[in-house]
Structure 1
């Protein structure tokens, strides 16, 4: 804790103190626990997790030196779910007081159970960039329910499978939806610790939503409104509608009524609604693919249609 006291800001370190985090409990911190404590800024979280990881690596090294027979040179025993949980000092009391008595633990206790059981998977993920497969997650769930069959009562919904609290492929909603469950959430949070080059899946950064637009853009929209809905004017109107994308998005975000929006951008209902699509996409998108003229330009549009 002394090291964190030196390098963290007072507010963040104060949250650790308020939650009674000590040198003894520091090693059990992870992303989910930090979030629950209100430590959500990435900078402090990375600092804390770096100290925690170094602390755990030091403990592992000391353990290997003190117990050479259990080092990596000896084939690892395939421990049961119960043996893994029993070896974890923080979870041992939950195992004995609740799971052994066939009492379903609280959700935060189930989350701790998942963190303990997923530790080898997370280690492979963070150190070797080896992502767990769907089958691997399903096998872990099967082992949990085989060890503690009464946990099938924890399923997320009446129609959901017995294992749905822990892992549910696509959330039961089809291939384009994300997996759900405590295991999936924990592993997804673990991925946040990976460096960009380690990540298997990345998302393009989103452009910040505009909260204001320039006078020039408003004037451009006003000029566009003066053009008649004709075949000859289609390319010009389409280009301007793509250029006033930010204005359109701002009006939608401010929840303007449809009449107000159409007074500013009347061509949203022109050309059988084509301008809605053009305005929603940014001008950079259309310029880079030249879609205004090659795809959306109608082959035949009669005047006034």
Structure 2
């Protein structure tokens, strides 16, 4: 790991970023979201489109990793990453014929990719999210003036949104989603259920601007309440928790609301988790070499 090159590291991070987006898409059943079972609350998306969209971002994440290699968080880097991200968004929309599949994920995973490139292969999760926050706190002076749906929801409902989440160091990822994933996995539950538990844990506390935009505050609060019921029932591994999960999916479809922000954060959890697994294996190998 010490002799790793910029090309190797950037390719590795891009591979892990795309893999995280694909694994998030494949996870089933996700309430209100596209998965292997249904298209959730999205009439313009399907699983094949989500996977194609994720694959189209390989070069974007590679270039972000390349740009951040051996750099420090600065406004110049922030704006360089933003330019790459906007080009990636253009490529994504070209692949999806105008459907916004991963705009939020480009922001979140792009920042984490850059932070991982800066901190190097031995960085822990907290160091990565802290560095991502430092980058996110710089303004992008060349950002488009047009207000996004997420920004409209932030103003209307006075919530933090994706930008605030990043600037605070992804607290729902590092304090809720990742610990939930590890806890459920270590308890012996199947990997897919551990990932669902992570998603539901974040949804229970996140002011998801995608839900707010499409469903308003009432749908957001009802979703949080239903997620807490799933958790109190023991999560998706329990029969009652599983039934609550399916009921939540039906509810969000009926309300035509989708927790897209939570989906982006789950991809962030999976991205960081995959890097940490490799780090853990590397440390174990070092310990064995000393024996």
Report the TM-score when normalising by structure 1. 0.30
Q: Which has the higher contact order (CA 8 A, sep 6+)?
A: 2
Structure having the higher helix fraction is: 2
Structure number with larger C-alpha Rg: 1
